[in-house]
Structure 1
Amino acid sequence: MTPAPRHTAAHSEELRAAARHFGRRRFLTTAGAAAALAFATQLPAAGTAAAAELDGRRITEDPFTLGIASGDPLPGSVLLWTRLAPRPFEPGGGLPAERVSVHWELARDERFTRTVRRGRATAHPEFSHTVHVEVEHLEPGREFFYRFRAGDWTSPTGRTRTAPAPWARPAELRLGAVSCQAYHDGYFTAYRHLADEDLDVVFHLGDYLYEYAVNATGGARAYTDRTLPAVFNRETITLEDYRLRYGLYKSDPDLRAAHAAHPFVVTWDDHETENNYAGGIPENGVPPEEFLLRRAAAYRAYWEHQPLRRPQLPEGPDMKLYRRLSFGRLAQFDILDTRQYRSDQAYGDGWQVPGPLSEDPARTLTGAAQERWLLDGWRSSGARWNVLPQQVVFAERRDRSTADFKLSMDSWDGYPASRARILAGAETAGVENLMVLTGDVHVGYGFDLKADFRDPASRTVGTEIVATSIASGKDGSDRPSNYDKLTQANPHLRFFNGRRGYVTVALGEESARADFRTVPYVTTPGAPVTTAASFVTEAGNPGLTPA
């Protein structure tokens, strides 16, 4: 029997509106965590609830425990981020609910002898004492160094870059792609190696944190020299839960090193909120209005703790995360959100035999507005490479070669009409060099994207590079148990590896090179990094060939 959708799009919009405008009396009638969450997500704008200002000289412990970051580079601007949290494992980060003045500085050199910009920002308690500084009027295509100061404390130094000028034709752009960093599954060793790479920008493709409980020993990390507080040993539900969880993740020194070394461009998948949610529809049988309140808390904490600009500031349970960045005439990046606007998964959110429900042309993974934005952007693109950083596997991925094959209903395979519209739009727009960057699945894949996945001989229309996880899935293996089945069932699958790590991609005028970088273990620290495989795709001739 075909299951009925959990609720309609119209119903979802009604629930979103309710989450934005619930009155305080309604909050107090909702049981337990939902009531606390409702109150938390109605916090006023920064500065309106905390008139007092904390004298920075009263901060007696290092407030920069969660490091610094930069992100979303533009030709004349960079975004700088930090959070003040002397004790990040405590609610409020160990600071009172008072404003704190934070001084920032941007220079051409690491010693700050050639400062080009400096200023002051306010860390508001309403935003968990995070700071987002948009530094404007900078030279394009330049390297800069930055730092913050609060009271007598100075942050670590970070390195960032502005994007090339819109008309520039850089010889090469080097990017990193990462995803899926379950703290409880292992150490973030891959980030330490990523910090040492020569990169212009890093794309985080989702699952920056996980909502699942982390026990006192850090799960697979099996700490013997420390004990994590009990506040982490529960699923994240409330705004404070999500803030504390970001505090745990960003306390990791390897993650902090990667953020300090490179500007990040981030997008989420599901675990930043809840596993496999679809739009306003939760994974489990929670009342939808409760879930939208949880989503509002998760989205707010996400914005607070990521190097994101003001246009991404959420409104209740809604946050416009899809956006476009360009690196001269070499590359245009259209960063997608395939979680917030999607139709409910067909036949459940696992691997299922496809059918009329999953193949319904009305189904969408992006939502209509985001789809139009993407296709319009491709039509006006003059870039050599059009790159699509997004979350879930784009290529068809059959689990077996027999006629009773199953597909993942949570990936683009569960929304084939949506995928077909994207590929048709790329062809109509004349996109010759399409590259999709993907996370989610805790393995490294390299796919040729086909005009017709049912016909192996059909035209190759692009390339998909899937970055394995940083830690999720624990140590993994070079040859996963389903290796033979997947490679036989999907002849367009050119590479498959199940170790942890990341991908680096060098985009040039004539070709792009992808290096799959892996570590042999994450359940103990200190693993070395190696290149599991390298592939090249030529401009104007899509498809992967071994380097």
Structure 2
Amino acid sequence: MNSTARHILDLSRRGLLRGAGGLAALAALGPAARPGVAQPLFRAFPFTLGVASGEPSPDGFVIWTRLAPEPLAPDGGMVRAALPVAWEVAEDERFARIAARGEAIARPELAHAVHVEVSGLAPGRPYFYRFRAGGEVSATGRSRTAPAPGAATDRLRFAFAGCQHYEHGLFTAWRHIAQEADLDFVFHYGDYIYEYRGRVPGQPGWGPLVRPHLGEETIALADYRLRYAQYRLDPDLQAAHAAHPFLTSYDDHEVDNNWAGAISEEDGSPRFPIAVPPETFALRKAAAFQAWYEHMPLRRAALPRGPDITAYRRLDFGTMARVHVLDTRQFRDDQPCGDGVKAPCAEVHRPDAQMLGAAQEAWLLDGLTDSPARWNILAQQVPMMRRLLASGISMDKWDAYPAARQRLLDGIRARRAANPVVLSGDVHVALAATIRARPEDPESAPVAAEFTATSITSAGDGAPMTPAGEEVLRRNPDIALFHGQRGYCVAEATAARMTVEFVALPFVTREGAPRETAARLVVEAGRPGLQRG
């Protein structure tokens, strides 16, 4: 009896596919049955979207896959029946020393995605994992547990990246990230997908058209699932997920450009005169959050409840670092002054402005108060630094919420949080800055350093320096770096310093871009200002 036949018999023994409905589901998954011949469970290889891991803890991590033999077809080519998926975690790549194994259920309600919260592993070491279903075996992924609580490790090494517009270029940067050595994790700050409808050659639009999106703008759950499947099929993105554990967050394009709290971009402003009511936008948010959860290696705590999701969380890496993953979209106020880039209006200065929301803000300050870590990393989405532009400030960034930023900076100082470092993205250029106690006062004391990763592809190839970049540096003396090509960042923290390498790719609109170092900057422990590396 071959493995497929044994597997189908095992399904029957376990009672996972019972009665006429289960038999019909099995029949629909394969070709017409022939007497005496075991039938395959899937029409094609089911692990087309790869594997991923994330959320490392001292005794485990999350491993992820999704059954999708026809990933761009409705329901990924799957029938709407729950199916078992076996998983294994091993100490070696050949799976000779199994550390943990089990079985999960891939459910149609969650697009047959599987999230396994593995536990019982040893701290601070790599592991390998894979999945099995219907006689098929997934690719092998590599993950890593966090150091033991209170462990004094020599270093922490991680990458951070985001803004990966599929149409604007190739994901070569993810291939380079896959090849980065000894990363403890990768922080994806957001814009994993872009919601815009697919363009056709010659059609005007933002950025270059290297490869088109499939479908219309994402509104319904099926739209978002198709878009994630298209992105997840990219082999370079799959390689990065298989190589390292991820900490994922979201920004705006996972839902809708520049959304804020309950407010859609289509807000009744002169740019969008037909407004989307909050109760209607909530339906879109619910679909977007569900699809995001389905395609990310997240814990069950992040499972959305309609238009609500708890995505902020913290992870400890021994005594070296505490990572506070923040959500700067769901709880913020609507952008003031009608959004855009412009001179501040009176609304910018409202004292009760919210970027994180009261609950998340208090949670963050509590986590900074009792942090045992040498470095406190605020992993979030949009630049916190003061960034004066030629025509004003961006109403979508922390600059437009100065009261919220000031409360956070005052809280960091009052709690004497050790070595705060802010990570951000969103603006499609690389930036590095010193954040001062009063960002508008260049004489006030430094409080934190911020590193902004450029985009993976968004906005196309770019250039190392632009006239806008020269203007940013001229107007903002606390910004020490501007670089406008695509890429990512790699950080290495020790007890004495954190060094951040800004990796640049000279092009993304064609294959084969090499990895280049645009800059290295250093933060010394106990000195929050930036130094050139």
TM-score (normalised: structure 2): 0.89
Q: 1:269 aligns with which of 235, 246, 251?
A: 251
The answer on whether the counterparts of 1:280 and 1:340 sit within 8 Å (CA) in structure 2 is yes
Query: What displacement does 1:523 show?
Result: 0.8
Q: Tell me which residue corresponds to 1:232.
A: 214
Match of 1:358, SS state, is helix
**Correspondence 1:144 to 2:127:** yes
Equivalence for 1:494? 480
* 8 Å contact kept, 1:216–1:233: no
| Aligned with residue 308 of structure 2, among 300, 304, 318 | 318
| Pick aligned residue for 1:279 from 261, 273, 291 | 261
Determine which of 347, 355, 360 is the counterpart of 2:350. Answer: 360
Residue type at the aligned position of 2:329: R
Check if 1:407 corresponds to 2:385: no
> What is the 5 A alignment of 1:337-486?
337-400=327-390, 406-486=392-472
Deviations 1:127-152 (A, max 9, x none): 00100000111111111000011112
Choose which of 242, 246, 255 in structure 1 pairs with 2:237. 255
Say whether the 8 Å CA contact 1:281–1:288 is kept in structure 2: yes
* Alignment partners' CA distance in 1, 2:356 and 2:157: 27
Counterpart in the other structure of 2:69: 86
- The one-letter code of the counterpart of 2:500 is A
Q: By how many angstroms is 1:173 displaced?
A: 0.4
Bigger relative contact order, structure 1 or 2, given CA contacts below 8 A and separation 6+?
1
1:206 matched residue in structure 2: 190
Match of 1:194 in 2: 177
Preserved CA contact (<8 Å) 1:211 1:273: yes
Within a 5 Å distance, the mapping from 1:78-157 to structure 2 comes to 78-157=61-140
CA displacement at 1:414 relative to structure 2? 0.8
CA distance in 2, matches of 1:430, 1:539: 13
Q: 1:138-181 deviations in whole A, cap 9, x for unaligned?
A: 11111100001111211111000111111101100000000100
Q: Does 1:538 align with 2:524?
A: yes
Shift of 1:452: 2.0
Contact 2:215 2:223 in 1 (8 A): no
Given residue 415 of structure 2, which amino acid in structure 1 is its aligned partner? A
Counterparts of 2:22 and 2:329, CA distance in 1: 39
Q: Is the 8 A contact 2:168 2:457 kept in 1?
A: yes
Shift of 1:221: 5.6
Q: Cα distance, 1:471 vs. partner?
A: 0.5
- The SS at the match of 1:396 is coil
Residue 529 (structure 1) aligned with residue 515 (structure 2) = yes
> Partners in 1 of 2:370 and 2:346 — Cα distance?
35
Per-residue deviation, residues 84-127 of structure 1 (Å, max 9, x unmatched): 11111111001111112111000011111111111111110110
| Deviation sequence 1:301-354 (CA, Å, 0-9, x none) | 110110000000000000000001000111001110000010111102211212
**Which secondary structure state, in structure 2, belongs to the residue aligned with residue 464 of structure 1?**
strand
Asked if structure 2 preserves the Cα contact closer than 8 Å seen for 1:181 and 1:470, the reply is yes
2:499 to 513, 536, 542: 513
1:25 aligns with: none
In the aligned structure 1, how far is the partner of 2:83 from the partner of 2:467? 53
1:216 offset after TM fit, Å? 6.1
Q: Which residue of 2 aligns with 1:305?
A: 295
Distance of 2:94 and 2:217 partners within structure 1: 43
Question: Which residue of structure 2 aligns with residue 52 of structure 1?
Answer: 22
- CA contact 1:215–1:233 (8 Å) conserved in 2: no
Shift of 1:51: 6.6
* Residue 245 in structure 1 maps to residue 227 in structure 2: yes
Shift of 1:460: 1.1
Separation of aligned partners in 2, 1:352 and 1:220: 26
1:32 corresponds to which residue? none
CA spacing shift, 1:268–1:222, aligned 2, 3 Å: closer
- Supply the distance in 2 between the matched residues of 1:332 and 1:192 (Cα, whole angstroms): 27
Contact 1:51/1:99 (CA < 8 Å) preserved in 2?
no
**How far apart, in 1, do the equivalents of 2:418 and 2:438 lie?**
17
Specify the alignment match of 2:269 in structure 1.
none
What TM-score results when the alignment is normalised by the length of structure 1? Answer: 0.87
Tell me which amino acid in the other structure corresponds to 2:169: G
Shift, 1:440, TM fit = 0.5
C-alpha distance in structure 2 between counterparts of 1:222 and 1:342, whole Å: 34
Check whether the contact 2:373–2:418 (CA below 8 A) recurs between aligned residues.
no
| Cα deviations by residue, 1:389-428 (Å, 9 ceiling, x for unpaired) | 000010110014xxxx611110000100000011111111
CA drift at 1:542: 1.3
* 2:258 counterpart letter in structure 1: N
Classify 1:51/1:539 alpha carbon distance in 2 versus 1 (closer, same or farther; 3 Å): farther
Asked if structure 2 preserves the Cα contact closer than 8 Å seen for 1:221 and 1:524, the reply is no
Structure 2 CA distance for partners of 1:216 and 1:97, relative to 1, 3 Å: farther
Q: Contact 2:325–2:378 at 8 Å: present in 1 too?
A: yes
Structure 1 residue 214 displacement after superposition = 2.3
Amino acid at match of 1:110: E
Root mean square deviation, CA, Å: 1.9
In structure 1, distance between residues paired with 2:294 and 2:353: 32
- Displacement of 1:454 after TM fit? 2.4
Query: Residue by residue, what CA displacement relative to the aligned partner does 1:172-221 show, whole Å, maximum 9, x if unpaired?
Result: 00000001000011100000000000111000001000000124679946
Q: Which moved more, 1:54-63 or 1:275-284?
A: 54-63
Map 1:25-44 → 2, pairs under 5 A: none
One-letter amino acid of the counterpart of residue 263, structure 2 = I
CA shift, 1:539, in A, is 0.2
How much identity, in percent, do the aligned residues show? 49
In 2: Cα distance, 1:51 partner to 1:380 partner = 53
Question: Partners in 2 of 1:51 and 1:205 — Cα distance?
Answer: 42
1:66 aligns with 2:56: no
Say if 2:142 is the partner of 1:159. Answer: yes
Deviation string for 1:70-97 (max 9, x for gaps)? 0010111210000011111111001111
Instruction: Report the alpha carbon displacement of residue 52 of structure 1 after superposing the two structures with TM.
Output: 3.1
- Structure 1 segments unaligned to the other structure (5+ residues): 1-45
Inter-partner Cα distance in structure 2 for 1:488 and 1:379:
36
Amino acid at match of 2:255: T
**What amino acid is aligned across from residue 79 of structure 1 in structure 2?**
V
Residues 160 and 263 in structure 1, CA contact (< 8 A), matched pair in contact too? yes
